[in-house]
């Protein structure tokens, strides 16, 4: 066992700060990284990797982007947090609203988990209803009400997806299959007390599984008709797929949007926002409590403003075009292999599924061959390519990836 992993396991629970990093899904020992620059990571032994994890999508411009580093250094020298109002929060909110006009009022948090949890709370406070709807395979962070999976058999209410989540709480979460509009209509007929529906409009936590437009339209229609709040979790897709996120691509307006990852420029962050009449229910203007010591801290704000102020529709056109060339070639390579594999891509995100047909919901995605995935993961790793260590994750290409790294990856795919 490598010494860093041995030592980590002596002091950190399970050896990690977040479970998927432990490599349980792929076997072997986790690699300890020391440094990142542009599209590359270096481990503690000085070995270099082309990175497709990119801090789980939080890094859009590449590691240690010089502008972002300068912004953080400049702010750090002026103090890292005061626990007071600052103008930086307004600045970042303005940048977000340029791309997301549906977010009339915004609140910052320190993680996507907090933002999703708080969006659900304000939706419950606003509607004065208790039940919530989520979809199988969508991840919204690890708040109790959202760590819920589909119940067995015909039960539509959820059961805890983790020990420590009370069953009575999980029963307030209805878990439905993704991309199934009929299931949504049935749930609204059955339950009169639905406060909100939360969804990843392009699911990226069961591997990459985009929603069909009809499905998202049904969510909009049913929530409006039944007085429920529609929450889009764009923690990954916001500022990843186009300027304006999935709501721009699909042309549908959610009531609340949850953001995170990219908007913090690589530092801890989350945000949620939407219609003023809902957001004004938050304390101090309203009676739904929500707070955070480091919420809106100047370091995350400065890094976020530096990234967002450089983005435009043109930025995404260039990035996505570069990625599409890569995906087209990768698909040709995969088609020539004997094993059945399919590549799902959206903007600068992709997943290789080890099955012939691309999945459209969690049940299908779960059939991806996990043994084949392990071989793929370790095959790439041994050739200096780092991808997320789980079959149910999405890989990310940054703006710093050039044709040099992408071509090298294609070469490895060909031989692997
Ligand atoms: C990462 C993620 C979250 C949780 O964000 P954290 O900052 O890890 O708490 C929520 N929703 C989606 C869609 C995510 O990908």
| Rounded Cα gap, residues 245 and 250, in angstroms | 9
Whether the per-residue pLDDT at 151 is higher than 80: the answer is no
pLDDT in tens, 239-248: 999 999 999 9
Q: Output the pTM of the full model.
A: 0.98
Q: Looking at ligand 1, which atom is closest to the CA of residue 261?
A: 7
The number of beta carbons lying within 10 Å of the beta carbon of residue 70 is 12
Q: Tell me the average pLDDT across 153-177.
A: 89
Looking at residue 150, its pLDDT comes to 86
Looking at residue 362, its pLDDT comes to 96
Q: Are 3-60+313-415 and 66-308 in the same CATH fold?
A: no
Q: Tell me the average pLDDT across 353-362.
A: 94
Point out the catalytic residue in the list 40, 52, 139, 178: 139
Q: What is the DSSP-derived secondary structure letter of residue 330?
A: H
| Rounded Cα gap, residues 163 and 209, in angstroms | 27
pLDDT in tens, 73-124: 999 999 999 999 999 999 999 999 999 999 999 999 999 999 999 999 999 9
CATH of span 66-308: 3.40.640.10
Percentage of residues of the chain with pLDDT beyond 90: 95
Pick the closest to residue 231 from 277, 279, 196, 204 (CA basis). 196
When the pLDDT of each residue in the chain is averaged and rounded to a whole number, the result is 96
Domain ranges for the chain, please list them.
Answer: 3-60+313-415, 66-308
* Least confident interval from 13-17, 21-25, 37-41, 339-343: 339-343
- Residue 177 zone, left/alpha/beta (φ > 0; ψ -120 to 50; rest): beta
| Rounded Cα gap, residues 128 and 281, in angstroms | 11
**Span from the CA of 235 to the centroid of ligand 1 (angstroms):** 6
Whether the per-residue pLDDT at 155 is higher than 80: the answer is no
**Per-residue tokens: 67:** 């502008």
**Per-residue tokens: 21:** 């990093």
| Rounded Cα gap, residues 363 and 354, in angstroms | 14
Burial of 358 (0-12, 13-18, 19+ CB in 10 A): middle
| Rounded Cα gap, residues 142 and 164, in angstroms | 12
| Rounded Cα gap, residues 231 and 145, in angstroms | 14
| Rounded Cα gap, residues 315 and 337, in angstroms | 34
Confidence of residue 1 (pLDDT cuts 50, 70, 90): confident
Pick the closest to residue 233 from 280, 284, 270 (CA basis). 270
Whether the per-residue pLDDT at 153 is higher than 90: the answer is no
Nearest CA to ligand 1 atom 5: 112
Burial of 77 (0-12, 13-18, 19+ CB in 10 A): exposed
Looking at residue 114, its pLDDT comes to 98
139 noted as active-site residue: yes
Residue 302: φ, ψ to 5°: -65, -45
**Per-residue tokens: 273:** 């926002």
Ligand 1 shell residues, CB under 6 Å: 111-113, 116, 139-141, 200, 205, 233, 235-236, 260, 270
Whether the per-residue pLDDT at 205 is higher than 70: the answer is yes
Q: Tell me the average pLDDT across 161-165.
A: 94
Whether the per-residue pLDDT at 208 is higher than 80: the answer is yes
Looking at residue 340, its pLDDT comes to 85
Whether the per-residue pLDDT at 62 is higher than 70: the answer is yes
261 noted as active-site residue: yes
Place of tokens 């691509």: 249
233 noted as active-site residue: yes
**Per-residue tokens: 89:** 């929060």
Non-local CB neighbours of 267 within 8 Å, separated by 6+ positions: 72, 299, 300, 303, 304
Residue 242: φ, ψ to 5°: -150, 170
Looking at residue 154, its pLDDT comes to 58
Indicate the SS3 state at residue 42: strand
Non-local CB neighbours of 100 within 8 Å, separated by 6+ positions: 238, 244, 245, 247, 257, 259, 273
Whether the per-residue pLDDT at 53 is higher than 90: the answer is yes
Q: Tell me the average pLDDT across 5-27.
A: 97
How far is the CA of 287 from the CAs of 25, 116, 228, 296, in angstroms? 43, 18, 19, 21
How far is the CA of 179 from the CAs of 43, 134, 201, in angstroms? 40, 12, 10
**Per-residue tokens: 358:** 């691309």
**Span from the CA of 136 to the centroid of ligand 1 (angstroms):** 15
Nearest CA to ligand 1 atom 8: 112
SS (H, E, C) 333-373: HHHHCCCCCEEEEECCEEEEECCCCCCCCHHHHCCCCHHHH
User: What topology does CATH give the domain 3-60+313-415?
Assistant: 3.90.1150
* Helix H or strand E encompassing 195: strand 194-199
Whether the per-residue pLDDT at 286 is higher than 90: the answer is yes
Q: Looking at ligand 1, which atom is closest to the CA of residue 233?
A: 13
Whether the per-residue pLDDT at 156 is higher than 80: the answer is no
Query: What does the DSSP assignment read for 300-321?
Result: HHHHHHHHHTT--HHHHHHHHH
Whether the per-residue pLDDT at 135 is higher than 90: the answer is yes
Nearest CA to ligand 1 atom 11: 140
């Amino acid at each position: 066992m490598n010494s860093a992993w041995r030592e980590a396991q002596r002091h950190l629970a399970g050896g990690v700060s977040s479970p998927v990093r432990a490599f349980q899904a792929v076997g072997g020992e986790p690699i300890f990284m020391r440094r990142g620059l542009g599209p590359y990571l270096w481990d503690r032994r000085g070995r270099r990797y082309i990175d497709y994890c990119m801090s789980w999508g939080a890094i859009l411009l590449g590691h240690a982007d010089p502008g972002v580093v300068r912004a953080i250094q400049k702010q750090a020298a002026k103090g890292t947090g005061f626990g007071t109002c600052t103008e930086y929060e307004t600045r970042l909110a303005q940048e977000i609203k340029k791309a997301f006009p549906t977010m009339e009022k915004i609140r910052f948090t320190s993680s996507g988990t907090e933002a999703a949890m708080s969006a659900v709370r304000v939706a419950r406070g606003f509607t004065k209803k208790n039940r919530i709807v989520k979809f199988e395979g969508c991840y919204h962070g690890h708040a109790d009400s959202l760590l819920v999976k589909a119940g067995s058999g015909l039960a539509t209410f959820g059961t805890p997806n983790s020990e420590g989540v009370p069953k009575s709480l999980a029963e307030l979460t209805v878990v439905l299959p993704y991309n199934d509009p009929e299931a949504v209509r049935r749930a609204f007929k059955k339950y009169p007390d639905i406060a909100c529906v939360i969804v990843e409009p392009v699911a990226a936590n069961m591997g990459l599984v985009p929603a069909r437009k009809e499905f998202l339209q049904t969510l909009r229609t049913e929530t409006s008709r039944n007085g429920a709040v529609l929450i889009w979790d764009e923690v990954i897709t916001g500022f990843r797929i186009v300027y304006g996120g999935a709501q721009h691509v699909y042309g549908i307006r959610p009531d609340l949007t949850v953001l995170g990852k990219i908007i913090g420029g690589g530092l801890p962050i989350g945000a949620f926002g939407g219609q003023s009449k809902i957001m004004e229910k938050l304390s101090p203007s309203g009676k739904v409590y929500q707070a955070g010591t480091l919420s809106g801290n100047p370091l995350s704000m400065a890094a976020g403003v530096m990234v967002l102020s450089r983005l435009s529709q043109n930025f995404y056109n260039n990035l996505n075009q570069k990625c599409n060339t890569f995906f087209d070639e990768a698909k040709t390579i995969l088609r020539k292999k004997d094993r059945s594999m399919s590549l799902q891509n959206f903007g600068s995100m992709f997943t290789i599924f080890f099955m012939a047909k691309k999945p459209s919901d969690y049940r299908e995605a779960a059939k991806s061959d996990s043994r084949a995935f392990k071989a793929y993961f370790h095959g790439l790793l041994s050739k200096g390519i780092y991808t997320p260590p789980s079959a149910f994750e999405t890989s990310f290409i940054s703006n710093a990836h050039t044709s040099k790294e992408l071509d090298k990856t294609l070469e490895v795919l060909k031989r692997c």
